[in-house]
Amino acid sequence: MESPIEFSSFYRLLNSVKEGDESQKELLEAELQKYKNGDLASSHLHELGQLFLFIGVSEIYKYTNEEDFNVIGNFSKEQWEALSDEKESGLPQYLANKMIKFSKNNNIAKKISEKWKKPQREINKHTTQMARYITEGLIDVLE
């Protein structure tokens, strides 16, 4: 049986950057690079979640045209609404769709399957759920 997938330590780190802790910015970027490559993953689903965290944070930067999480965390309701209108999608839907699309376009299920010796259908089965799970966590940090 696999251990539960959770990223609370990452979300705490992201929140501290959002709250203005400048000393954590480099650590956040280092973590994101590790997540991009799956360097510290403990399972196939953990790696998928880490990759989705990397994509999610990257896409938040693109969505907002801002790369400072402290600034993003202080956006007003009106700013979020304007972005939603501009992008023709709210941030949660935008993020989940970007994660799923990236996964499909880059054969992530196949790559993770080969690395962890798991059937592709196992990764595919969890792709949408993982995208939603990671998106919820990112949105919680921003609220």
Residues 71-83 have pLDDT tens digits of 999 999 999 999 9
* Residue 125 near residue 110 (C-beta atoms within 8 A): no
Q: Is 40 helix (H, G, I), strand (E, B) or coil?
A: coil
Which amino acid is it at 142? L
User: What residues have CB less than 8 Å from 37, skipping those under 6 apart?
Assistant: none
pTM: 0.93
What is the structure's pLDDT at 117?
A: 96
DSSP 22: G
What is the structure's pLDDT at 1?
A: 38
Q: Is 106 helix (H, G, I), strand (E, B) or coil?
A: coil
Q: Could you read off the pLDDT of 35-49 as tens digits, one per residue?
A: 998 888 999 999 999
Work out the pLDDT band at 32, boundaries 50, 70, 90. very high
What is the structure's pLDDT at 3?
A: 61
